[in-house]
Chain A
Amino acid sequence: MKRWETVLVILLIAVCTVNSLASPYFLDVHNLFDSTQAFTEKAIVALSMTPVIIGRDIDLSVAAIIALCSTLVGWLATLGVGTAGLAAASVVAGTLAGAFNGAVITRFRIQAIVVTIGTMSLFRGISYAMLGDAAYTSYPDGFEALGQGSLWGLVPYELVVFAALAIAFTAVVHRTVIGRRLFAYGNNPDAARYSGIAVDAHRFWFFTINGAMCGLASVLLTSRIGATRPNMATSWELDVIAVVVLGGVSILGGSGTLPGVILAVFVMGMLTFGLGLMNVPGIMMSIVSGALLIIAIAVPLVLRRAVARRV
Chain B
Amino acid sequence: MRSPLHRRDAVLVIILAVMVAAVALRAPVFLSAASLDTLLTDGGILAMMALVQMLALITGGIDLSIAATMALVGMATALMSRAYPELPVVLTVASSLALGLIAGAINAVLIAGVGIPPIVVTLGTMSIYRGAVFLVSGGAWVNAHEFGRGYLEWATARSLGLTHIVWIAIAVILAGHVVLNHARTGRALYALGGNRAAARYVGIDESRVVLRVYCLTGAISGLAGYLWVARYAVAYTETALGFELQTVAACVIGGVSIAGGQGRVLGCILGAAFLVIILNSLPMIDVSPFWQMAISGAAILAAVIVNSRAEAPRGTPILPRAAAAKETA
Contacts and interface: CB of A to CB of B under 8 A. Distances in A.
Tell whether A and B belong to one assembly: yes
A123 B126 contact: no
A283 B131 contact: yes
Interface stretch (A35-43, A258-266, A289-297): A289-297
A111 B258 CA distance: 7
B265 interface: no
A121 B131 CA distance: 23
Contacts of A233: none
B152 to A, nearest CB: 26
Interface in A108-165: 108-111, 113-115, 117-126, 128-129, 131-133
Interface in B115-156: 115-117, 119-121, 123-128, 130-132, 134-135, 139
Contact of B301 (A119, A131, A281): A119
Given A111-B259, A281-B139, A290-B127, A125 B120 contact: no
A123 B298 CA distance: 9
Nearest to B303: A118
A297 B120 contact: yes
Contact of A294 (B124, B290, B292): B124
Interface string B252-287: 100000110000000000000000000000000000
A108 B305 contact: yes
A242 B307 CA distance: 30
Interface string B199-232: 0000000000000000000000000000000000
A301 interface: yes
Main secondary structure of the interface of A (DSSP, over half): helix
A91 interface: no
Given A126-B294, A132-B290, A298-B114, A118 B120 contact: no
B237 interface: yes
Interface in B90-121: 110, 114-117, 119-121
A129 B258 contact: no
B100 to A, nearest CB: 18
B185 interface: no
A244 B128 CA distance: 18
Given A132-B290, A245-B120, A297-B120, A119 B134 contact: no
Contacts of A60: 245
Main secondary structure of the interface of B (DSSP, over half): helix
A287 interface: yes
A128 B295 CA distance: 11
Nearest to A132: B290
A283 B68 CA distance: 13
Interface in A281-311: 281, 283-291, 293-294, 297-298, 301-302, 305
Interface range for B: 35 or more
B126 A238 contact: yes
B116 A297 contact: yes
A251 interface: yes
Nearest to A293: B124
Interface residues of A, number: 48
Contacts of B13: none
Nearest to B237: A283
B293 A298 contact: no
A278 B80 CA distance: 31
Contacts of B110: 294, 298
A298 B305 contact: no
A121 B124 contact: no
B31 interface: no
Contact of A121 (B125, B237, B300): B300
A294 B114 CA distance: 10
A301 B121 CA distance: 13
B188 interface: no
Contacts of B120: 245, 251, 293-294, 297
A101 to B, nearest CB: 10
B300 A291 contact: no
A108 B309 contact: yes
Given A104-B305, A122-B294, A284-B135, A117 B128 contact: no
Given A110-B305, A118-B249, A120-B297, A129 B291 contact: yes
B296 interface: yes
B117 A117 contact: no
Given A109-B312, A121-B293, A242 B127 contact: yes
11 contacts: A104-B301, A108-B304, A114-B304, A122-B301, A125-B292, A125-B295, A128-B294, A284-B134, A286-B128, A297-B116, A297-B120
Interface of B: 62, 110, 114-117, 119-121, 123-128, 130-132, 134-135, 139, 237, 245, 248-249, 252, 258-259, 288, 290-298, 300-301, 304-305, 308-309, 312
Given A124-B294, A132-B290, A283-B134, 8 more contacts: A108-B304, A117-B252, A118-B249, A120-B245, A122-B298, A284-B135, A294-B120, A301-B114
Interface of A: 60, 104, 108-111, 113-115, 117-126, 128-129, 131-133, 230, 238, 241-242, 245, 251-252, 281, 283-291, 293-294, 297-298, 301-302, 305
